[in-house]
């Protein structure tokens, strides 16, 4: 299926080894982009990079913890040097943290903030000078519908809501440099992480699906299609926006 072209573009995708990140890497390379794939899951990452390169795509893997600023700066410098430029950043890497308010502890807070908020901040801060110099850039931040509120997600929800604030601020700061910044908030997506907690044929999963107006789970490709569009020139007049991709759940009042 034809989609927005990314021919001659270079992208960095974090959290690329599985789920939404993997689907995004596949979509972007399908669209003609060269991609630096970033993840801490080195084995899964290597398999994906080998798969892409064997298919004639242009991909390189980088085993990086995005909560480490020095490692992020080095990763961006390596990617830019390897490909000769850098046009697109997809801030997809993140970790979940479940628990009621009274159950959350400082360790949960620090680790989740370190990856989800600081990691997104570090990656974006590292790529912006390159994008400003080129007068072009597309930054897509992956958050969650949980940013609107969900029981047992105080810490996780706070980080994803925080990314909305950064997205809107960066969009205003960077527009004059030809850089677009947008936020995607996925709802229930059938990723490996989701399936571990919600087995496919369980009563809990059936109830969750029933709460979705479209009556189906989303899949990583649904999100990757939107990422590819926002990373393309077809979305050149879209910036600072929060787009929920959740089968209509944000319209209703379900709080699963």
The pLDDT tens digits for 12-65 are 999 999 999 999 999 999 999 999 999 999 999 999 999 999 999 999 999 999
Please list, in sequence order, all residues whose beta carbon lies within 8 angstroms of the beta carbon of residue 139, skipping any fewer than 6 positions away.
Answer: 88, 89, 91, 124, 127, 131, 170, 174, 179, 180, 181, 182
Query: Which DSSP letter does residue 200 get?
Result: T
Greatest mean pLDDT range, 95-99, 104-108, 119-123, 206-210: 119-123
DSSP string, 76-127: HHHHHHHHS---EEEE-------B-GGG--HHHHHHHIIIIIIHHHHHHHHH
Nearest to 205 by CA among 213, 191, 219, 194: 194
Q: Is the pLDDT of residue 200 over 90?
A: no
**Percentage with pLDDT > 90 across the chain:** 85
Please report, for the chain, the start and end positions of each structural domain, with discontinuous segments joined by +.
10-189+220-244
- The per-residue pLDDT of the chain, averaged, comes to 94
Is residue 157 pLDDT above 50, yes or no? yes
Looking at the predicted structure, is the pLDDT value of residue 190 above 50? yes
Region 77-81: mean pLDDT is: 97
Choosing from 83, 121, 136, 156, the catalytic residue is: 156
Q: What pLDDT is attached to residue 68? A: 98
Q: How far is CA 217 from CA 16, 26, 76, 146, 189, in A?
A: 21, 20, 34, 16, 6
Q: How confident is the model at residue 105 (pLDDT cuts 50, 70, 90)?
A: very high
Q: What is the CATH code of the structural domain delimited by 10-189+220-244?
A: 3.40.50.720
Q: In the predicted model, is pLDDT for residue 96 greater than 70? A: yes
pLDDT at position 155 over 50: yes
- Put simply, whether the predicted model's pTM sits higher than 0.85 gets the answer yes
What the block records as the tokens of 136 is: 């072009």
pLDDT band at residue 202 under the 50/70/90 scheme: confident
Give residue for tokens 């400003």: 132
Pairwise CA distance, residues 109 & 130, whole Å:
31
- What whole-number distance in Å separates Cα of residue 180 and Cα of residue 174? 7
- pLDDT band at 253, cuts 50/70/90? low
What local confidence, expressed as pLDDT, does residue 204 receive?
A: 82
Partners of 99 in beta bridges: 153
> What pLDDT shows up at residue 219?
96
Distance CA 137, CA 175 (A): 10
Q: Tell me the mean pLDDT in the region 155-183.
A: 98
* pLDDT above 90 for 139: yes
Specify the pLDDT at position 2. 58
Interhelix angle 42-54/19-30, nearest 10 degrees: 20
Q: What is the mean pLDDT of residues 179-200?
A: 87
pLDDT classification of 1: cutoffs 50, 70, 90: very low
Tell me whether residue 156 is one of the annotated catalytic residues: yes
* DSSP per-residue string spanning 141-193: EE--GGGG--TTBHHHHHHHHHHHHHHHHHHHHHGGGTEEEEEEEE-SB--HH
- CA–CA distances in Å: residue 227 to residues 17, 90, 189, 234, 247: 16, 8, 14, 12, 16
Report the distance separating Cα 8 and Cα 10, nearest Å. Answer: 7
């Amino acid at each position: 299926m034809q989609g927005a072209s990314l021919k001659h573009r270079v992208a960095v995708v974090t959290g690329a080894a599985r789920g939404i990140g993997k689907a995004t890497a596949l979509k972007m390379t399908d669209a003609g982009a060269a991609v630096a794939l970033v993840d801490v899951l080195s084995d899964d990452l290597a398999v994906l990079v080998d798969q892409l390169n064997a298919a004639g795509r242009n991909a390189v893997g980088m085993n990086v913890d995005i909560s480490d600023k020095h490692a992020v700066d080095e990763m961006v410098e390596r990617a830019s040097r390897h490909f000769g430029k850098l046009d697109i950043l997809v801030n997809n890497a993140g970790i979940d943290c479940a628990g009621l308010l009274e159950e959350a502890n400082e360790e949960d807070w620090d680790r989740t903030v370190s990856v989800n908020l600081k990691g997104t901040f570090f990656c974006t801060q590292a790529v912006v000078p390159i994008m400003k110099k080129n007068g072009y850039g597309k930054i897509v931040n992956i958050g969650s519908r949980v940013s609107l509120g969900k029981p047992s997600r105080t810490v996780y929800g706070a980080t994803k809501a925080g990314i909305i604030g950064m997205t809107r601020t960066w969009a205003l700061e960077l527009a004059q440099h030809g850089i677009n910044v947008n936020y995607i908030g996925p709802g229930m997506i059938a990723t490996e992480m989701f399936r571990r907690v919600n087995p496919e044929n369980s009563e809990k999963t059936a109830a969750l699906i029933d709460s979705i107006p479209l009556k189906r789970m989303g899949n990583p490709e649904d999100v990757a299609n939107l990422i590819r569009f926002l990373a393309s020139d077809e979305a050149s007049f879209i910036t600072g926006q929060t787009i929920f991709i959740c089968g209509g759940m944000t319209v209703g009042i379900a709080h699963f």
